[in-house]
Amino acid sequence: MITADRSTRPVVAASRAGGQAVVVERTGRPEIGLESGAEPTTEVDALTLGRRIRERRTARGMTLGELAAAIERAPSQVSAIENGKREPRLSMLRTIALALGTTADELLKTDAPSERAALEIAVERAQRGPVFAALGLPSFRVAKGMSDQTLTTILALHQEIDRLHRERAATPEEARRANAQLRAEMRARDNFYPELEAKAAELLEAVGHTGGPVSHQLVADMAGHLGYSLHYVGDLPHSTRSVTDKRNGRVYLPTAQSPSRDSRSPILQALASHLLGHHEPRDYAEFLRQRIETNYLTAAILLPEQATVRFLTEAKNLRRISMEDLRDAFAVSYETAAHRFTNVATARLDIPVHFTKVHESGTIIKAYENDRVRFPSDALGAIEGTTMCRNWTARTVFDVEDRFSPWYQYTDTSSGTFWCTSRIEKAKEGEYSVSVGVPFEHVKWFRGRETPHRAVSRCPDPSCCQAPAGLAERWADASWPAARTPTSLLAALPTGTFPGVDQTEVFQFLEAHAPSA
Q: In whole angstroms, what is the distance from residue 134 CA to residue 153 CA? A: 20
pLDDT > 90? residue 218: yes
Q: What is the mean pLDDT of residues 199-224?
A: 94
The pLDDT of residue 260: 60
Going 234 to 239 to 243 to 247, the CA torsion angle's sign is: negative
Do 325 and 336 touch, CB atoms closer than 8 A? no
Q: What is the mean pLDDT of residues 72-80?
A: 90
Do 460 and 386 touch, CB atoms closer than 8 A? no
pLDDT > 50? residue 190: yes
pLDDT tens-digit map of 411-450: 999 899 999 999 999 887 789 999 999 999 999 999 999 9
The pLDDT of residue 517: 58
Q: What is the mean pLDDT of residues 398-409?
A: 92
Q: In whole angstroms, what is the distance from residue 108 CA to residue 93 CA? A: 9
SS3 content of the chain, % helix, strand, coil (to 5): 45, 15, 40
Q: What is the mean pLDDT of residues 64-72?
A: 91
pLDDT > 90? residue 261: no
Q: What is the mean pLDDT of residues 152-180?
A: 75
The pLDDT of residue 134: 67
Q: In whole angstroms, what is the distance from residue 393 CA to residue 390 CA? A: 8
Q: Which residues of 391-419 are buried (b: 16+ CB within 10 A; e: fewer)?
A: bbbbbbbbeeeeeeebbbbbbebeeeebb
Q: Which residue has the higher pLDDT, 44 or 55?
A: 55
The pLDDT of residue 492: 45
Q: CA 282 from chain center: how many Å?
A: 7
pLDDT > 50? residue 398: yes
The pLDDT of residue 18: 34
pLDDT tens-digit map of 457-511: 998 887 888 777 777 777 777 767 665 555 444 444 444 456 566 667 777 788 8
10 Å CB burial of residue 443 (0-12, 13-18, 19+) is: buried
The pLDDT of residue 222: 96
Q: What is the mean pLDDT of residues 235-249?
A: 88
The pLDDT of residue 336: 95
Q: Which residue has the higher pLDDT, 83 or 351?
A: 351
pTM value? 0.65
Q: What is the mean pLDDT of residues 364-390?
A: 87
Q: What is the mean pLDDT of residues 396-425?
A: 94
Q: In whole angstroms, what is the distance from residue 257 CA to residue 397 CA? A: 27
Per cent of the chain over pLDDT 70 is 84
Cβ neighbours of 164 (radius 10 Å):
12
**Average pLDDT for the chain:** 83
Q: What is the mean pLDDT of residues 61-82?
A: 90
pLDDT > 80? residue 115: yes
For the stretch 175-179, contacts whose Cβ atoms lie closer than 8 Å and that sit 24 or more positions apart, written own/partner, are 175/284, 175/288, 175/493, 176/378, 176/380, 176/382, 176/384, 176/385, 177/380, 177/381, 177/382, 178/283, 178/284, 178/285, 178/288, 179/288, 179/382, 179/383, 179/384
pLDDT > 90? residue 334: yes
Where is average pLDDT lowest: 119-123, 321-325, 509-513? 509-513
Q: What is the mean pLDDT of residues 233-262?
A: 84
The pLDDT of residue 486: 52
Q: Which residue has the higher pLDDT, 348 or 142?
A: 348
Q: What is the mean pLDDT of residues 294-311?
A: 96
Q: Which residue has the higher pLDDT, 212 or 11?
A: 212
3-state SS class at 444 = helix
The pLDDT of residue 83: 85
